[in-house]
Amino acid sequence: MIRQLTFDLPARTAWRREDFFVSPANAAALAALDDWRHWPGGKMVLTGPKGSGKTHLAKLWAAETGAAVLPATALAGADLPALSAHGAVAVEDAEAVAGDGAGEAAFFHLHNLVTQAGHLLVTAATPPRDWPLALPDLASRLQAAGLARIEAPDDALLSAVLIKLFSDRQIAVPPAVIPYMVARMERSIDAARDLVAALDARALAEGRPITRALAAEVMGG
């Protein structure tokens, strides 16, 4: 009898274009980023739920444009002229800067530096009009940007995300597992991530493969 060995290998996140599954939930957002040369004022705000693929799209855009990518919380201490020298910058989780005086001021100056002749991508959960920005000039400039949105995931996108999450962990699962999970899970990318992690941990702890039966146990039926 051959005993199957399991190893707690780290998850490997893949950010390639072929790893981004296009569905009706995100096709319009992808098209907007592909058309970056024609953004109004050289800027675009990409919104969507946490874990919906905003970072993946930002990394794809950065790979194409040579953009620098940084979280909004790092703006206050950033070298703004050096960032703007890239000609393109992506600022992630931009709503986190709202209410931070130094962060908002840095964001305003970076916006002006980059959009003079380059391109600025901003990602956030909601549009700029919903952020409690204290700096009116920053608010008005961001609200003038183009707006692209990733919608809540549909079945096709959830299925693709689950497959990718398992693949990132170097796990192959039987085909029946994915539709079983999609039909019963909370409909969010974060839930998919948590569920795959829970299944992986349970499988490793018990020395079992990930099957529909194990998914039923972890999902409570």
User: What string of pLDDT tens digits covers the 221 residues of the chain?
Assistant: 222 323 333 444 555 666 677 888 889 999 999 999 999 999 999 999 887 889 989 999 999 999 999 999 999 999 999 999 999 999 999 999 999 999 999 999 999 999 999 999 999 999 999 999 999 999 999 999 999 999 888 888 899 889 989 998 999 999 899 999 999 998 888 889 899 999 999 999 999 999 999 999 999 86
- The dihedrals phi and psi of 197, each to the nearest 5 degrees, come to -60, -40
pLDDT of residue 8: 38
Which residue ranges does the chain devote to CATH 1.10.8? Answer: 153-218
CATH 1.10.3470 is held by the domain 153-218 = no
pLDDT of residue 220: 87
Which residue ranges does the chain devote to CATH 3.40.50.300? Answer: 24-149
Q: What is the CATH number of domain 24-149?
A: 3.40.50.300
Q: What angle do CA 23, 25, 27 make, to 5 degrees?
A: 60
Question: Is the entire prediction scored with pTM above 0.85?
Answer: no
pLDDT of residue 156: 86
Provide the residue type at 158 as one letter: L
